[in-house]
Every structure is written in C-alpha cells, then in structure tokens.
Chain A
C-alpha cells in the first residue's frame, strides 16, 4: 500500500510548545474550556478515518433515496420507518409493531458487536465510527478548509477582528449550518417518503413534525459536532465510563511505549541515540489529538483511540531515522512484559471475547430464524373469560372467542375458518350467521377481528371428559390453500 505518510509541513522535527488541555495537575474546580486546535495528521490511520467517514456519511445521506417498488398504496422507499401506519420497511421485509422484537434483536446484536470490538481493540467505535467522531472530524475539516491548519487557526483566533477574520469565521459557521441542515434533513427522510418530503420542504408545506425534527437535528449537529466536539465524549457520553469494564489487559489499545521512548528529550541531528529514548518530545502527538490529551500520560478516559497520534509519531520517527510505532496499538500485558524484558503471547481468545462471539452467533441465528419463520398471516385468539361458557336452553354449552387475523400480504385475502378436533362442535361467526360457507375477507395489510361462538350439543358434551377440550381453529386461505392452525380450548361446567 502506498500511503501518503510524509508530512510536508514537518521538515525538521522541532519541539512544539503545547501543554495538554487535560493535564494531570493545576486543575480548577470548574474548568474553563480550552480550545483544542487539532493539527492535520497524515498516515495510515488518518486515511482509514477518511474512508470510514466517506462510507458512513454516504450511507446516511444516500439511503433514504434508494427506491424499492412495492406496488400501489405502499411506500416505495427501501428503508422507511412509517410511524403513523406502524410499519418499518427494510427492503423486502415489512415489520409490524408486534414484530419489533426483530429490531430489538438487531439492536442487541449491535451492542454485542460493540462489546466484542471493545474487548479486542478498545474504543474502535469511538475512534472511527461514532457519529459524534465522524461529524466532529467533518466539522474540523471544514474549519481547516476556511481557516487553515493548527498554527493558522491559533493565529487567527489571537488576531484582532478584521473584515477578513469575520469572513473566515462566518464562512465556517455557515458551512457547519449547511452540513447540519443536510444532516437533520436526512434524518427525517427515514420517516417519510424522501422525494415527497423534499418537495414539501422546498415549498414550505411539510408537516410541523418534520420541521421540528429537522430543527432539532440541525441544532444538535451544529452544537455537538461543530461547537461542543470533545466535550461530548469527555463529559456527556456514558460509553467512556462503561468501557472500563469492556476491555482488559489483553485488549489492543493506542499506547505510548515508554520502554522505548524514555528518557525522552530534545534531539539534535547527528547526536547519538545512546542512553536515551526515541521520544524527542516534539509534542506532535499532542498537537494532532482531537481530545487534547497527551498519550504519553498513559491510558486515559478522554482518549477515543482514534490513532492519529500513531500517524503523527510515525512521521517523526521516519524523519529522525528511528523505527516506527513508538506509539502503537498494544496491550497492557505486552507493555509490562517488554518493560521487564520478557515476552507474552497475544491472547485473542479470552473468556469475554469467546462469550461475546458466541452471543453474536446465537443472536444472528435467532434474528435470522425470526425473519425466515415470519408468516404473512398471523392469528391471535382471545377466549371469553367472563363468562367462560354459556348454557343454552337445550342444555348445549357455548364458548365465545375473539379471533384477530393479520394479513401481512399486500393484497386482500379470503379465508375459510373451520374447527378441528371438537366433535359435534358448531361455529357461528357474528355477522355471518346462517351462512356456513361465508368467507372472511381480510383487506391488504390489515387486521380483522371476528367474534366466534362455538356450541357443543348435550350428546357431544357427554362424550367429553374433564371440563375442557383442546381443539384447533383452522384458517384456510382459499386462494393458495395455505393453512394456519391456532390451538384453542373449549370449556364447560364440571360434568
């Protein structure tokens, strides 16, 4: 792979005078925010981050516009959460509210995957894929485009207000706002047909809810991505606190290798490297850090493990002719072992990784099973509980049931309902009495509720034992002959 690992701006590695914002001492009780000016990094991990940004943002903005024709009366948007009609459409899958457990399964699956990668390599999610990281990265790139890199921005902020400064600042904020509007807009497109809603936005006829959520997500994107940035990760997000229980001494975390770097100190070209570490204390790792920390202080809460310090340090090591990876993905175990001059093996298979992996496989299986076993008709049965049974004038016993039939197909269906396993039992459907061959019509994508009475005459009752008999309701789709059975109980007084 030929990557742009050479940083043209670092001709000679020289010491940058910078103190980490989140330093260990000299703290106030209420810390005034110190602005962080992340320097642009070049290298393998920066490239990966650019690619992840392109892919995730591309998916986010483009997916609502993917079409998926479903026929008349139904949305032709590939992914749509239709809140009003209580349906989630994902390509060929249509999820009804009572099937939301499938979505729950996917969410739990996502959580397990998050646990697994955290156990393996720390906060990979935070460093590369979290929306907060991705949008912050984008906002910083925009800021860099208008105002220049780290040094230029520091200089601009320190400079008195001029027309030029005003122009650069305004342009930055307007660009942020435009990105935020696009972000908020894309969000609401997931809940209403995107081209329609786009037209409604343009003509100012969109529903109030749409404007409201567009406003909320525009505001949060601008505030959290543009202004708050690292404050969100450090002070608002619970994940940095939870992750302490997620990784262990065998997880690969972005780490400074003190055994190689120390004792650190400035280094002049031509000086010998004996009796000193490789770290030339140039503070490049601090300058690129979007969280304002010094990775050489060790693992810390603020670190989102974005690995930009690895890129920065590698460039410096190239310049001074020392090996790469003074800062690298490494494990606590390995760092300790190398410091003592011993070796440890890398342990990918650990109880927690095995557990998470097994749960992921299990959950994948369950979700897949739920999706494959999903029927396009479902029957729900409520037997009357009050009264459990009714004695009729000829000593027959009658039970009442409410049957709900869900037609999940996109076309009307016609069913015949019958009984199986209840000798002598006769059925009457309220509203269809006197017509034993009446068909139940279930319009497309709809639920019908039927009141059904089942009567067993005295002679047949004598054949029954006990006070309840188990039987099946049989629902036959007369178009394709498919049969759905639902178990039911017929109750009668103690004989």
Chain B
C-alpha cells in the first residue's frame, strides 16, 4: 500500500516523508491496536455522554440514563452519616451533661460536634479559640459571670443574656455618670477603690474616699467584698480578668456609662443536642467548674 519512502542516511531507517526546514521524521509506526484503543476510547466517551450527566443546557443539563448526581451522592452520604451518628445523638439527648462528660465515647462525640457548632455560631464574638475580646467574655479562663458549671453554661446558652427570651438572664450596670447618679470626683474615687480591690496600683487617699461610695452604690450587686455575684452576672472586681479593661480609664468609663453585653438566645435556634454539645465543649476549654 505504501509507496517507497526516503531512507534516513544516518540510521538507515525510512522517514515519514515529512520535512520541516530540512528536518525529517523517522517512521516509527504506531501499532495498529493503539489506533483501535483510540477508537474504543471515543466509543467509551459517547457511552459516557449517554449514561452520565454530560452536556450543559441553558436551564438544565442532560442527566444521563443512570441518573447519577454528585449532589445526590453527597446527600446520601450525609443521611448515612447522620444515621451512623444516630446512636450518639440519642445518647446525648437522653443523658445529663455530667454523664456525657464522664462517658469517653460521648465526650469525644460532643467535643467534636461542639467544636464545629462553636466555630459556626459562637466564634464571631467569642473568638475561634474562645479567647473572647473587649466586651466578649473569654470562655477558656476560670472567671465566669453567670456561672461556669455545666448546667450554668447550658442555661446561658438556652436563654441568653439580656436577650429576647422572657426568662433571659438579665441585670443592668447603672450609668452612674450619664444619669448624674455620681459626681465625677466620686466616680474617680470609686474607680481608685475598685483598683485597690485587685491590688492594682492606686491612689490610697482617693480609694479611701471611694470605699463608702462602693458600699452605698456598688456592693448590692458586686458584693461588699467586690467578688461579684453569679446569680446577677456581676463580675468579680478583685481578680485579674477584666471584660472591659482593667486600666483606670476603662473602669471610670464603665462606671460612667454602664455596661450590659448581650448574648443571643440559642434555645429554639439550636436543637437541644447541639446546645448540650456546646455546653460540654465550652466546659472543656479549660475554665469549666
């Protein structure tokens, strides 16, 4: 079938007869079966178009005879995963928080689920590592406004703080300055006294004047010793943790303008199992009581 082709002088092998600027190509024939493999691949591709989703349309696409859908596969996997988690979900729903914490399997499950739920719902205010920020409590330390026991945490999560829930935890730090309840010199003296409670550097004379002011205006909520009361969410003023800053100007500002952060109500927004998982997870961050 083939006409005689020129022979390459160096190798003694014939060339394809093609020439590019004096460069010729040795004829190294492809095996015939390789060509058939190419045709088989073409046939395979056509078959693939028919049975699998292939061609895009304007509003839809060809779905293929086998009805395969990656989204359906994902949905099936999610359903299967939920089914596989079912026994843990049920166990978490039935158990009280202390039991969950004592059962290694459930603890692993709740901590894994709690970590994800925390990242989704809580991290925007409390930080990815629960380290908090100015006005947003650090959940990994050992200082708690409304209590750091498992049930306290779960309750705070469920009803929120100063939130829309009628049972929500609530209390108000008065605006002593804005509402003219105290004179600026009195505020200054009270702030110096507060500084003295945590052994921070302070003006002893002013603090002495502030002591009576504290007893009259602050002790009802913060306690006569300044250690705070968790049933009203009043912070402990004697420790090293300051939600709104521990410098004098921070404390003066808190007294002048009042404080009152809001925590959303998660009951009804998150299912009870997720709230339990979050409570156990937050408790495990290092500060749980």
A interface residues (Cβ-Cβ under 8 A, vs B): 24-33, 231, 234-235, 384-387, 390-395, 398, 400, 430-431, 451, 453
Residues of A within 8 A of B183 (CB): none
Do A386 and B129 have beta carbons less than 8 Å apart? yes
Taking a contact as CB atoms under 8 Å apart, the answer to whether A25 and B14 are in contact is yes
- Which of B23-31, B91-99, B203-211, B263-271 is the interface stretch? B23-31
Please give, as numbers and ranges, the residues of chain A lying within 8 Å of B192 by CB-CB distance: none
B30 and A392 contact, CB distance less than 8 A: no
User: Cβ of A384: which chain B residues have Cβ within 8 Å of it?
Assistant: 129
Give CA–CA (A391, B143) in the complex, Å. 10
Q: How far is the CA of A398 from the CA of B14 in the complex (A)?
A: 80
CA distance A389 to B13 in the complex (A): 75
B contacts with A, residue count (CB < 8 A) = 37
CA A384 to CA B140, docked complex, whole Å:
12
Give residues 209-245 of B contacting A (CB, 8 Å): 236, 239-241
Q: Which applies to chain A's interface (DSSP): helix, strand, loop or mixed? A: loop
Query: Known contacts A25-B13, A28-B2: does B32 contact A390 (CB below 8 Å)?
Result: no
A387 and B140 contact, CB distance less than 8 A: yes
Binding site for A on B (CB under 8 A): 1-2, 7, 11-14, 16, 27-35, 101, 104, 107, 127-131, 138, 140-143, 236, 239-241, 284, 286-287
- Complex interface: chain B residues within 8 A of A24 (CB): 11-14
Which of B32, B127, B142, B239 interacts with A386 by CB under 8 Å? B127
Report yes or no: B286 in contact with A400, Cβ–Cβ below 8 A: yes
Q: Which residue of chain A is the closest to B199 with respect to CB atoms?
A: A395
Known: A28-B29, A231-B33. A393 touches B131 (CB 8 A): no
Interface core residue of B27, B128, B138, B284 (most chain A CB under 10 Å): B27
What residues of chain A lie closer than 8 Å to B287, measured between beta carbons? 390, 392
Bound together, the chains give a CA A354 to CA B129 distance in angstroms of 55
Pick from A25, A395, A430: contact of B284, CB below 8 A. Answer: A430
- In the complex, the answer to whether B33 meets A398 with C-beta atoms within 8 Å is no
Contacting residues, chain B, for A453 (C-beta < 8 A):
286
Partner of B131, one of A26, A28, A387, A430: A387
How far is A181 from B166 in the complex, measured between Cα atoms in Å?
74
A486 and B74 alpha carbons, distance in the complex (Å): 41
Min Cβ gap A401→B in Å is 11
B31-A231 in contact (CB<8A) = yes
Which residues of chain A are within 8 angstroms of B127 by Cβ–Cβ distance? 386-387
Residue of A nearest to B16 (CB): A29
CA distance A394 to B13 in the complex (A): 89
The one of B7, B11, B130, B284 that contacts A451, using a Cβ cutoff of 8 Å: B284
Complex CA–CA separation, A296 to B178 (angstroms): 107
- Bound Cα distance A234, B34 (Å): 12
Whole-angstrom distance between the Cβ of A294 and the nearest chain B Cβ: 12
Query: Are A393 and B29 touching (Cβ within 8 A)?
Result: no
Q: Which 10 A-B pairs have the closest CB atoms?
A: A386-B129, A393-B239, A31-B29, A387-B131, A395-B240, A393-B143, A27-B27, A387-B129, A32-B32, A30-B32
| A430 partner residues in chain B, CB cutoff 8 A | 284
Q: Contacts A24-B13, A386-B127 hold; do A391 and B27 have CB atoms under 8 A apart?
A: no
In the complex, chain A residues whose CB is within 8 Å of the CB of B34: 30, 235
User: Can you give 27 contacting A-B residue pairs, CB < 8 Å?
Assistant: A24-B11, A24-B13, A25-B7, A25-B13, A26-B2, A26-B14, A27-B13, A27-B14, A27-B27, A27-B29, A28-B2, A30-B29, A30-B31, A235-B30, A384-B129, A385-B129, A386-B127, A387-B127, A390-B138, A390-B140, A391-B240, A392-B143, A392-B287, A393-B240, A394-B239, A431-B101, A453-B286
